[in-house]
Homo-oligomer: A and B are copies of this chain.
Amino acid sequence: MSFASIPPMVRRSRSVGAEVAAHLERLITSGELRAGDRLPAERDLAASLNVSRASLREAMFELESKKLIERHQGRGSVVAEQPEGVSQLYEGLSELDVEIANATELRDLVEPRIAQLAAVRAADSNLLSLEEVLARSHEELSPEESLALDVEFHTLLAHAAQNPLLVTLCTMTTDWTRRTRELSHRTLEGRRISVSGHRAIFDAVVARRAVPAGAAMERHLREIREVSSRA
């Protein structure tokens, strides 16, 4: 097996540990090391690579975090089973998407509750403001106008829930998911769904029916998401 020492020359761009990790990763992905193969003991491997055990361990940490190897105290380390292209999969999944997903998750949690509370607590003045926004909403508006009214509706609803924390959360999640919402307001269908969804929520709130209000909000969010995912 070729655990040959790494050429000492050209090793100055990356750290020793990273260099070793890359070396071992190449051995694995190229097939020289197969799943289930036992790696030499850390002390031996470090010696054959002419690096300290500390650096070797740094490399091992990296490989382990990439699930390329498994380590077991007292037993040694083995090359892990490779669930088909793990390495690439690991790189993938844009962090941006993850963040949006997190924000969306929070929004899905908060908004229905806002609708419920608004149904219970909304003052007349809240209802008037909401009604006014709805009166200004129709599907012929430009995407920008439609989006602005959308934001306004949700913000006013949050105010109607009479909890400043929910207003803040609503504002922030609305902001973070802006891109998704922009997409959905681009199409006529998206604008139509937005308006009708708001209408349904408002009707439930006015009727002081908390549970239906929450349900209407859930449906609204789901529909909007479907539209924007098609766009």
A residues near B, CB below 8 A? 54, 57-58, 61-62, 65, 67, 83-85, 88-89, 92-93, 95-96, 98-99, 102-103, 105-106, 109-110, 113, 117, 163-166, 168-169, 171-172, 176
Complex contact B172–A96 (CB within 8 A): no
A154, chain B: closest CB distance, angstroms: 16
How far, in whole Å, are A88 and B110 apart by their CA atoms in the complex?
17
The verdict on A85 contacting B102 (CB below 8 Å), with A61-B58, A62-B65, A96-B168 known, is yes
Chain B residue contacts of A85, Cβ below 8 A: 99, 102-103, 172, 176
Q: Name which residue of chain B comes closest to A167, CB basis.
A: B96
Chain B residue contacts of A117, Cβ below 8 A: 105
How far, in whole Å, are A58 and B60 apart by their CA atoms in the complex?
10
Chain B residue contacts of A84, Cβ below 8 A: 96, 99, 103, 176
Complex contact B168–A92 (CB within 8 A): yes
Chain B residue contacts of A65, Cβ below 8 A: 62, 65
Chain B residue contacts of A67, Cβ below 8 A: 95
Complex contact A113–B109 (CB within 8 A): yes
- Residue among A95, A109, A176 with most chain B CB within 10 A: A109
A181, chain B: closest CB distance, angstroms: 16
How far, in whole Å, are A62 and B105 apart by their CA atoms in the complex?
26
The verdict on A102 contacting B163 (CB below 8 Å), with A65-B62, A65-B65 known, is yes
Complex contact A96–B165 (CB within 8 A): yes
Chain B residue contacts of A110, Cβ below 8 A: 109
Complex contact B172–A102 (CB within 8 A): no
The verdict on A106 contacting B176 (CB below 8 Å), with A62-B65, A65-B65 known, is no
Complex contact A88–B172 (CB within 8 A): yes
- Residue among A65, A102, A117, A168 with most chain B CB within 10 A: A102
The verdict on A106 contacting B62 (CB below 8 Å), with A88-B172, A99-B85 known, is no
A138, chain B: closest CB distance, angstroms: 29
The verdict on A93 contacting B168 (CB below 8 Å), with A83-B98, A85-B103 known, is yes
